[in-house]
């Protein structure tokens, strides 16, 4: 599964461009008074102006498997890295064969850089924002993750993520390239104490050569 684009809400387009372009280093590919879009490897990240105060999401970027330490060193001087456990800032997901770290953007979104070691994407180049490969995860908060996630999986003939067994409040669709992560509202987004909230989201993805657009309406 390839996530081609996600569209999210923001109540401050100018500060969002400041964060993603000037701090994170993503290329701004379009901007007007109501939207801003960035290139994130093979994915497009778009924010749409909203009057809703501080809508927030969780999403992740894939980075090369051998660049987690360099990516950490690249981001940590720019913004605070969140703790994933006491005294640790890099999470080791052994069942997913991946490592990741997290930080907030200007909107309060929980961002993640994740290195998935089962992908053949190691690279020798020193890490900078040009080595962000794609948007690899988008979190989707719903009333019932098990039921509503299964409805979408079945309707579009998607597959469960083979490395994560479905739970009542947490269900993952896709593969190492791209994941839809369904969680129950009020379930905290790892590694924070922020309960997931339902917000409008549009997702464009490709699965087995088929393009699908999902619109999540709270």
Residues above pLDDT 70, as percent of the chain: 100
Q: What are phi and psi of 74, to 5 degrees?
A: -75, -40
Euclidean distance between CA atoms 142 and 65, whole angstroms: 31
What does the mean pLDDT of the chain come to?
A: 97
pLDDT value of residue 64: 98
Averaged pLDDT for residues 167-174: 97
User: What tokens were used for 30?
Assistant: 């379009």
Tell me the per-residue pLDDT of 87-142, one tens digit each, with 9 for 90 and over: 999 999 999 999 999 999 999 999 999 999 999 999 999 999 999 999 999 999 99
Going by the DSSP 8-state scheme, the letter that residue 79 receives in this structure is S
Euclidean distance between CA atoms 168 and 170, whole angstroms: 6
Residue 34 has pLDDT above 90, yes or no: yes
Q: Using pLDDT thresholds of 50, 70 and 90, give the confidence band for residue 53.
A: confident
Tell me the per-residue pLDDT of 12-33, one tens digit each, with 9 for 90 and over: 999 999 999 999 999 999 999 9
Residues above pLDDT 90, as percent of the chain: 97
Smallest Cα–Cα separation from 165: which of 145, 136, 188, 144?
A: 145
> Do 159 and 176 form a contact (C-beta atoms < 8 A)?
no
pLDDT value of residue 54: 85
Q: For the whole model, what pTM was predicted?
A: 0.96
Going by the DSSP 8-state scheme, the letter that residue 19 receives in this structure is I
């Amino acid at each position: 599964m390839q996530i081609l684009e996600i569209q999210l809400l923001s109540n401050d387009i100018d500060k969002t461009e400041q964060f993603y372009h000037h701090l994170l280093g993503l290329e701004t590919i379009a901007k007007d008074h109501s939207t801003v879009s960035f290139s994130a490897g093979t994915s497009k990240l778009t924010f749409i102006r909203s009057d809703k105060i501080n809508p927030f999401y969780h999403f992740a970027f894939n980075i090369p498997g051998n660049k987690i330490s360099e990516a950490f060193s690249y981001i940590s001087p720019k913004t605070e890295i969140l703790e994933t456990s006491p005294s640790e800032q890099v999470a080791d997901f052994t069942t997913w064969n991946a490592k990741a770290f997290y930080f907030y953007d200007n909107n309060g979104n929980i961002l993640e850089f994740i290195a998935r070691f089962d992908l053949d994407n190691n690279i020798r180049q020193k890490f900078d924002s040009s080595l962000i490969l794609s948007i690899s995860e988008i979190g989707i908060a719903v009333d019932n993750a098990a039921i509503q996630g299964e409805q979408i999986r079945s309707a579009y003939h998607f597959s469960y993520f083979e490395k994560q067994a479905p739970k009542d409040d947490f269900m993952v669709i896709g593969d190492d390239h791209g994941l839809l992560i369904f969680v129950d509202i009020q379930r905290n987004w790892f590694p924070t104490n922020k309960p997931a909230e339902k917000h409008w989201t549009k997702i464009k993805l490709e699965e087995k050569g088929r393009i699908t657009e999902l619109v999540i309406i709270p």
